[in-house]
Amino acid sequence: MVGQGKAVIPREKGGFSAQPPVLYRVRRCIQPGGIAMTLDAELVAKGKGEPLEGVKAQGREHLTLIDKHPELKDFGWEDAGTTQLAKDVEFISTTEAARSEASDSSAIDTLTQEARIDDSKKLVRSIRNVLPAALRKAKKDGVVIDKKLLASGRLGRVVPAIVSYLTTVEPTVKRIDKYLQPYLKVVPSTRINEVRKALEAADTKQEASLGATTEYTAKLNEAKGRVVEAIEELNGIAKNAFDGNAAVIGKFSKDLLLRARRERAAKEDPTKK
């Protein structure tokens, strides 16, 4: 990961030069769900708090203004900036749709994971309910099991802890399968193996879904940040290009974005209406 900082230039005799520092942009490599992304952390932070619809509307408005005022190019605006702005506005729309779909998928996968946790805990409860009776019968046949190997503590809902417990107790349960089976109507050790694998699979899928949602959100925030940055740049250029013409300069403000910010704030806190 590259951090923002100052480039220090070494002198020949081991000291450090007093030359002006070179500043460079933070770029971060994120790997949600095993997917590598290189993002501009500064832009991600800039776009994170911005209202989606406001950014899209303001971006489209500025694209229209660029088309109407070609003289902006005489004051530093470049065609590459227009291309990037148009690309980002379109990207925000398509990525938001993909993020929504990923979020729905993640919610479904989370419910599936919770169901597999319930299955695991129910099986453990069922075994524990009849364990004393099964152990007594096993002991009569000379099969002695230390109850501590089947600890009766609270299991909780943390997937790694549940998987670890099921993995640990499976060999012990297998030794008393025939004593537990009449009570449970299944081969207990086999069922433990089944629910453990199902839980592991559900957990892996849910983590991947969360990773996809994180990826879309990060990319979306970066694009929003880049749009806001372009809007601010155009605003500054317009002040030079149309110096003294307040009516035209005013068109390059962030009115649509600011209005969207206020509307969102009002929804979050009705007292701010």
Over residues 7-63, the pLDDT tens digits come to: 333 434 444 334 444 333 444 444 444 344 588 889 988 988 888 889 999 999 999
pLDDT value of residue 112: 85
pLDDT value of residue 271: 58
257 or 35, higher pLDDT: 257
Helix pair 52-68, 79-140: axis angle to 10 deg: 160
pTM beyond 0.85, yes or no: no
Residue 85 reports pLDDT greater than 90:
yes
Q: Could you tell me the two tokens for 223?
A: 């694009």
DSSP state of 153: S
Angle at 94 between CA 89 and CA 98, to 5 degrees: 145
Q: Could you tell me the two tokens for 128?
A: 């524990």
Q: Where are the alpha helices (DSSP H) in 176-187?
A: 177-184
Q: Could you tell me the two tokens for 170?
A: 């499976």
pLDDT value of residue 239: 96
137 or 219, higher pLDDT: 137
Residue 146 reports pLDDT greater than 70:
yes
Query: What pLDDT, in 10s, does the model give residues 10-19?
Result: 434 444 334 4
User: Is the alpha carbon torsion for 212, 101, 45, 219 positive or negative?
Assistant: positive
Are the CB atoms for 44 and 221 separated by under 8 Å? Answer: yes
Residue 184 reports pLDDT greater than 80:
yes
CB neighbourhood size of 189 (10 A): 20
pLDDT value of residue 149: 80
Query: What pLDDT, in 10s, does the model give residues 98-141?
Result: 555 555 566 777 788 899 999 999 999 999 999 999 999 999 99
pLDDT value of residue 62: 95
259 or 74, higher pLDDT: 74
pLDDT value of residue 212: 60
Are the CB atoms for 10 and 17 separated by under 8 Å? Answer: yes
Domain ranges of the chain: 46-258
3-state secondary structure of 118: helix
What region does 17 belong to: left with phi over 0, alpha with psi -120 to 50, or beta?
Answer: beta
The number of C-alpha atoms within 13 Å of 64 and in the hemisphere containing its C-beta is 8
pLDDT value of residue 90: 92
Helix pair 188-241, 159-175: axis angle to 10 deg: 170
